[in-house]
Chains A and B, each alone.
Chain A
Amino acid sequence: METLITILAGVLVTVATYLILSRSLIRVILGTAILSHAAHLLIMTMGGGLKIGSVPILGEGNGTFVDALPQALILTSIVISFAVTAVALVLAYRTYQETGTDKLDELRGMKHE
């Protein structure tokens, strides 16, 4: 299972990288959102979270639990990446309002001062 999830994460990274290299600001933000999924899946896998065991709630199952630490880390990470995505999105919205474009090439700013 770990290998499968790692490969899935690799696909996510590939697509995210491809999106970040786009010309459109929105695709870049979508790319970062997808990149964070890859990170979460990798934390889960690397932290040994896929081992056989029951839900990490005491009293459940037969006494072996999956690793709870990576879950806690991912939970923190999900919230933070949500916050960052929200800010980036609003930033993109305001950028479009002010400059009238969402094309990164047109947002290059002034030529050499």
Chain B
Amino acid sequence: MYTFSSKLKTFSFILMALGVVGIVFGFLNAPKTIEDVEKLLADSHHGHEVAHVEKIAPQAVDTHIVADTVNVAVAHVADSTHVETNNTTVDSTVHVEDTTAVVAVAESPAHTDNHKTHSKADAHYQDDHKAHLEHVLHQLQNKPWAALYVACIFFMLISVGVLAFYAIQYAAQAGWSPILFRVMEGITAYLLPGSIIFFLLLVAAGMHWNHLFVWMDPEVVNPESVKFDKLIFLKKGWLSVGRFLGTAAVILIVWNYVRFKFVKNSIAQDAAEDNAPYKRNFKLAAFFLVFFIVSESIMSWDWIMSVDPHWYSTLFGWYVFASFFVSGITVIAMITLYLKSKGYLEHVNTSHIHDLAKFMFGISIFWTYLWFSQFMLIWYSNIPEEVTYFVTRIEHYKLPFFGMLVLNFIFPLLILINTDFKRLTWIVVMAGIVILFGHYIDFFNMIMPATVGDQWFIGIPEIGALMFFLGLFIFVVFSALTKAPLVPKRNPLIEESKHFHY
């Protein structure tokens, strides 16, 4: 039996406490009104408002735009978006009261036309500026929410990835892995608290406490409103808060139920007379994998892709899957190495670690394959309505967007390709830390551009949220590991697993 070391427990509490402080700080520091934002912007880029408006325009695509804009060439997305926004605002507010412009041009009657357009343009600027400030306000108010959301979904999906890996091991009747089943069961224990917090976050979004999901705003699908968005309106059959929360509840309940049954049968097998609990788990694994692949796809549309409701990609579900699957396997390897180093897993040898490292390596490449396939297809055809997704990312997230390729692909490729290296604890742990960080950045890149746009920063709210969920993860997982013996007793494949050598 494993005993939770008091040092690790204290460490996890410290992480959670610091994390809560960071999260609260993030919420308190978010601006409340447009005036706050104006002050913030004036402090940071004084005198560059116009340039800033221009720069931020592609972001506007996501929130307040008319359907027609999607037809313009990519290079001009910024400009045309800008124009569209101007037109809509002009229609609703026709007031020309700019004094300086009037004085300057009024002296010459010949320039009346000019004057009109000029002052009109100035009025546009005023309105545009206000719209821009409101836009930045939403982004900054989203920041602490998005930071929380990214960290929450990342850690929850790690436990889901481990659950999928566990089910695959059962369904494939793998001979090497039963020795690691209890470690995997411990990690999936995080699924329950993780998914409860996550569901509460989704409910918070559904209650309009934040602007994470643009389509949740009822104004957006109201044809009478200035915020009306035809594209979202056409998708409202799927994108409705009730359907969204209902699907999320069903998916999370089934995942948690399956996890509960898996662990129950696994423990029952320890004391069983025959292999009945094992067989039940085998069948459950087969059922779960079918359910999982469907639910995983749906959850990737709902929880991740729908932050960009104008954009869609068919292989997105697989891409998200590869990301958290490799993170899950990495966490299995790291926790196994930790327990092994504390002397708890005497039957785990370097061959088991080698196999896990091979999975880390292989699935990292698989992730890259999907990332590149998605990116290259969209880059190559350059269809404006699809490519804005990557345009905003490359423009505002250059370092995280391409940096994660180094972390998630180049680094594991060069380090984990060597057979001898895959058996060395420090190499696997180092690669594991890099891969986990890289996939956090991956989720960051999926959520942030649509929610906070170019206002992103990995600061106190983001690190705080990460620390809180890391602390919770460590606490829950290692508490769960104390609940059952670390070596399953009567698993039909356990002897083979104990003597596994590669």
A binds B: no
Interface of A with B (CB < 8 Å)? Answer: none
Q: A-contacting residues of B (Cβ < 8 Å)?
A: none
